[in-house]
Amino acid sequence: MGRSPCCSSDDANLKKGPWTPEEDEKLLDYINTHGHGNWKTLPKHAGLNRCGKSCRLRWANYLRPDIKRGRFSEEEERLIVNLHSTLGNKWSKIATYLPGRTDNEIKNFWNTHIRKKLLNMGLEPNTHKPRTDLNHLLNLTQLICAAQLGSLMNPWESSALKVQADAAQLLQNLIQTLNTNQLSTITAGLINGTSSLYADEPAPVPQKFHSMSGDFLISELVSESPETATTSMNQMGDDKTNTNHYYSTMSPADTSMFQAWEKLMGDETDSSFWKDILDLTSSPSSPIQR
């Protein structure tokens, strides 16, 4: 069975592509006086040579009077990220929480802005968790090589470079460790605020996670409503106690590595260093990538 495409008949004669102001006016006039009613028959009645679906989309995404135009505010952006972390790519659902914004607009905004932002922060946009794909880290290897080579060729500049190379090396070791099963579970707990190792304990949510770009708040929402989502975001705070709690489950070697990492993250100067690394590794024009 299945269904035929909505505009299969007379397809060749139906207009496609961008709408003209005249078409917009016809559609607006018709809907304002008659309401949209049946979208399938609307174009005929409105004197439009378009398929009903095209008319519906034009109305919903552009002509509707309650549409808010212009840039997304920071508040809206934050809300979208939060809602996406719980709802996934349910753009129409997300749109119901942003009055005046269409699902299409939000989807576009996500794909063109937020997605890139999260990637640059070292986060997987679909899961909102740190990226574990090693492709991303290949650049780090290159960075380490470059830094080490630099120190060979330019010994008098070597100390700063060495610090950077050491930091990058540490990060790589850390990620490598994270790829082992046990630690993945632990860090998943650190990040999510839920750990299968401590399933019987109340999950400390949401947590603060120190990402590669410095301190970044990941709100893994447990709540269903966006109202609570926003509130929990605002209520987020540092949670060292829980971090120490997780340390207690690691081997001494892993613990010292994590502590070294934390020290690195706690250092004001180092956070700019990580930003530089991220810029280097993510920028398409990066000399490292050439």
Say whether residue 1 binds DNA (CB under 7 A): yes
Q: Is 240 in the site for DNA (CB under 7 A)?
A: no
Nearer to DNA, 90 or 263 (CB): 90
Alpha-carbon gap, residue 79 to 9, rounded angstroms: 42
133 φ/ψ angles, rounded to the nearest 5 degrees: -65, 135
For residues 165 and 169, give the distance between their C-alpha atoms in angstroms, rounded to a whole number.
6
Q: Which one of 55-63, 171-179, 195-203, 216-224 is the stretch in contact with DNA (CB under 7 A)?
A: 55-63
Contact assessment for residue 14 and residue 49, using Cβ atoms and an 8 Å cutoff: yes
**Closest CB to DNA among residues 17, 65:** 17
Piece in contact with DNA (CB under 7 A), picked from 25-33, 49-57, 155-163, 167-175: 49-57
Query: Contact with DNA (CB under 7 A): which of 99, 237, 284, 287?
Result: 284
Tokens 């989309």 sit on residue? 57
CB of 227 to DNA, least distance (A): 20
* Shortest distance, position 169 Cβ to DNA, whole Å: 30
Q: Candidates 25-33, 91-99, 140-148, 241-249: pick the segment binding DNA (CB under 7 A).
A: 91-99
89 lines the binding site for DNA (CB under 7 A): yes
Q: How far is the CB of 95 from DNA (least distance, A)?
A: 7
Q: Which of residues 107-166 bind DNA (CB under 7 A)?
A: 107-109, 111-113, 116
* CA 255 to chain CA mean position, Å: 29
Among 56, 78, 129, 208, binds DNA (CB under 7 A): 56
Single-letter amino acid code for the residue at 284: P
Quick one: 136 or 208, whose CB is closer to DNA? Answer: 136
Smallest separation (angstroms) from DNA to the CB of 45: 12
Where does the chain have alpha helices with state H? Answer: 21-34, 42-46, 52-58, 74-87, 91-95, 103-109, 115-120, 134-153, 158-178, 181-192, 226-235, 240-247, 252-266, 268-282
Identify the burial level of 225 via C-beta atoms within 10 angstroms of its C-beta, where 0-12 means exposed, 13-18 middle and 19 or more buried: exposed
CB 212 within 8 A of CB 197: no
Q: Decide: 191 and 200 in contact? Cβ < 8 Å.
A: no
Choices 83-91, 188-196, 198-206, 228-236 (CB under 7 A): range interacting with DNA = 83-91
Output 111 or 176, the one with its CB closest to DNA: 111
**Choices 89-97, 160-168, 179-187, 193-201 (CB under 7 A): range interacting with DNA:** 89-97
CB of residue 279 vs DNA: minimum separation in angstroms? 13
Q: Which of 151, 174, 189, 167 lies closest to 253 in space, CA to CA?
A: 174
8-state DSSP, 208:
E
Q: How far apart are CA 76 and CA 105, in angstroms?
A: 12
Which residues contact DNA by CB under 7 A? 1-7, 15-19, 37-40, 50, 52-54, 56-58, 61-62, 89-93, 103-105, 107-109, 111-113, 116, 284
